[in-house]
Structures are given as structure tokens and as C-alpha cells.
Chain A
């Protein structure tokens, strides 16, 4: 079946540096991907909608200059956390779907743990 893959699964970076997380749809094309963030013991919160070939749409309260999203191809979206701080430490998850009506399945990546030290 359709698979969405994220890389890296875990990353540790120093405060003030930037880190990039990739989200790939392995056997289908996705014009839209979504990025979520999840803190421990909490639910997933949508950060932004990644649109292939155009600017991402960010949810209220999410800084677009801090969380840079690039969706350069139909199978790859990247999330770059710039000038990372310890409070950015979280579980980041992407999702994508082959598209179609709202009954279609949405597939999630395995998630990426970011620890900022």
C-alpha cells in the first residue's frame, strides 16, 4: 500500500542551528502534504499545509520564518527548523494522500524526534 517515509527518525541538534526533516511519498504523488507537531502526552497539532510548487499555508501561531517548508516535487516535502531552541524539541509528523474524495485514506510518516540541546 501507499507509504509515507520521514527522515531522519531521530535528530539531536545544538541550540541556534537549523535542522531539516524530509517527508517522502514512496509510491504515489502528493500535491499536498501536512506537517504536524506532537508534544509528549498530547495530541497532534497541525502546523502547516505544504503545497507542491507554491508557498505553504501555516496555522495560526506557527512562525513561517522559523519553520520553513519546501515542497519542490510531488513526492518530497521538507521542514526546516531554523535557529532551533530547546522548546522546539518535539515529535514532527507528516502526512500525505494519493488524493481524491474525503473518504480516501491519509497516510502518515513514522515521525521524526527532534531534540535541541
Chain B
């Protein structure tokens, strides 16, 4: 599986936007970019995914670079409940439904 690189941790103020970066320079043409987050003592929760175009949903936006070698998860207004570990994961056609988790980014939100 292609590898992703994320900062270990980031800090944000409540009600401010947060941009969580992810580098995936070895991404293949058929890899989807998935983002999951994990709140303390819970299973991971789906956030968003995309292939080439930017994506928006009620939780977040996903901005994908034109060369697809990086992406950014955007939380438009961080809340205290958004404090979690955010995982950027590539999922290829041959990976089935298995996900390989990297270290993720621990987001801390300050009131």
C-alpha cells in the first residue's frame, strides 16, 4: 500500500478553521484518499473520501492537489468535539476493504 505522511499533532482554537495536511507522493492512479478520525476510546469514524476532485460533506471538506500527491482535510469551524486522531489512508482497488493505518494526526482544540 502507498504510504501517507501526516504531522504527529496539531493544535487549533475553537471555532476556527483547521487544515490537516497529508502527503502521499507514491499514490497510484486508482488509489482513493480516505480520511477517518478516532475519538478517545472509540472506533474510527468515516469523515470523507475522494479520488481526484475536491469533496465536501457535512463534516468536512477534502482538497486534493492537482498531482494527487497531497491532500488537506478542512474542518471549517473546529469544535471541542473535533479533538481526535485523524487518519489519512490510501485505499486501492486491490486492497479490498482493508485499511492500513499510519500514525495519524492528533488534533487538539483549545476553547
Residues of A within 8 A of B (CB): 4, 6, 32, 34, 36, 43-46, 49, 91, 93, 95-97, 99, 101-111, 113
Contact = CB atoms under 8 A, between A and B. Distances in A.
Contacts of A105: 46, 49
23 contacts: A4-B43, A43-B87, A43-B101, A43-B102, A43-B104, A45-B101, A46-B100, A49-B98, A91-B41, A95-B43, A95-B44, A96-B97, A102-B93, A102-B96, A104-B97, A105-B46, A108-B43, A109-B43, A110-B42, A110-B43, A111-B41, A111-B42, A111-B43
Contact of A103 (B49, B87, B100, B103): B49
A44 B101 contact: yes
Contacts of B36: 108
B103 A106 contact: no
Interface in B70-111: 87, 91-93, 95-104
A99 B51 CA distance: 18
B45 interface: yes
Interface of B: 30, 32, 34, 36, 38, 41-46, 49, 51, 87, 91-93, 95-104
- Kindly name the residue among B42, B93, B98 whose own CB sees the greatest number of chain A CB atoms within 10 A: B98
A99 B104 contact: no
B97 A44 contact: no
Given A45-B101, A96-B97, A108-B44, 12 more contacts: A32-B97, A43-B103, A44-B99, A46-B98, A46-B99, A95-B99, A102-B30, A102-B91, A102-B92, A105-B46, A105-B49, A108-B45
Nearest to A43: B101
Closest 9 A-B residue pairs measured CB to CB? A108-B43, A97-B97, A44-B101, A111-B43, A43-B101, A108-B44, A93-B43, A102-B91, A105-B46
